[in-house]
Amino acid sequence: MTEFSAVELIIAKRERGELTTAQIDWLIANYTSGVVADEQMSAMAMAILLNGMSRREIRDLTTAMIRSGERLDYSWLKAATADKHSTGGVGDKITLPLAPLVAVFGVAVPQLSGRGLGHTGGTLDKLESIPGWRASLSNGEMHSQLDEVGAVICAAGSGLAPADRKLYALRDVTGTVEAIPLIASSIMSKKIAEGTANLVLDVKVGSGAFMKDIDRARELARVMVDLGNDSGVNTSALLTDMSTPLGLKIGNALEVEESVEVLAGGGPADVVEITVELAREMLRLAGKTDVDVAAALSDGRAMDKWNQMIRAQGGDPAAKLPVAKHSHVIVAQDSGALTKLDALALGVASWRLGAGRARKEDAVQFGAGIQMHAQLGDTVVAGQPLLTLFTDEPERFERAQEALVGGIEYGATAPTRKIILERL
């Protein structure tokens, strides 16, 4: 590999220059091995945030990050593979009913998921509230479950895109999280390395999402769709609303409960809508268009697949889920339509109740969170229960309620909510 100087590359990007493929390969390989120091990569990340990268540079960065570790391969599977990635939100439990729903139709779903940090929840934390369920599987266990059940949701191994893991931690403490080239290469290096043939991106837009406005979300989605397709992964994206929470339950065990309601043919309409739409899109990319997705929720097939999937990872789908020791009811302060039920406010409140973590090493309370008794646009009467807060530590209620200040508003006219904003 040609030798370069980290300082020269930083200056080139600082001066709005384009880095060559060889320069990007050298930078990522040497950052992963420790030759390029954290402070040098911090400066490069800030230069990328300020000056951006071309489509070719982002593709090279993603490829170099994939090359830093292993790449999984499912070509031996008889079934086509499809995966979904969400950019994260509040009450976003969609992966839980979605994976078994898609698997019903003979498309294998290898879903490598993460844990929550801050106000956005993590799929693994939710599933770990099920007694006995385990997130860590060997590649062999994952392969046999995919072959036998058709769906697996588990933790990504340490061998996938190790350069991203290093860079992700650095971005978090250097004010460079928002750089679209770094977000896109981070997400797509892991997703491409995971080996799926088809990928649907659920890019959230709104106060509870990473991307607050639709223009930025659209830009991120386009960059990621291009990266996937350029790498041979059939990729599409939906832009979906995250200005208000999805469903009526926020928190780990609470969201599992709601997911099971959806799999049983019920559940909130918004959760059902986005689950069905994402399933249709995953199946479309995998070549299956003439299927009745909604029917698999109502007739029990998706629930059967869920039970299989949970049991395969040691979980008991019939076991009682953890329940918080303490609860506190918040009532409506006014009568009228709920014109604002802010996703960020409720996400932070749930996090403060113990449903999320401030640092990666923190534990979560499986029973903590919020149950909403009304959604955006619903009509309420002053004094009726609006939210129930749950936690094991009652001293958390006060700070959780502080997070809700300004997050709930009432009016005469109910706002209309569109969940699927755009398709790319």
Active-site residue list: 85, 164, 171, 186, 190
Short-list 164, 239, 175, 237, CA closest to 204:
239
| Size (the chain), residues | 424
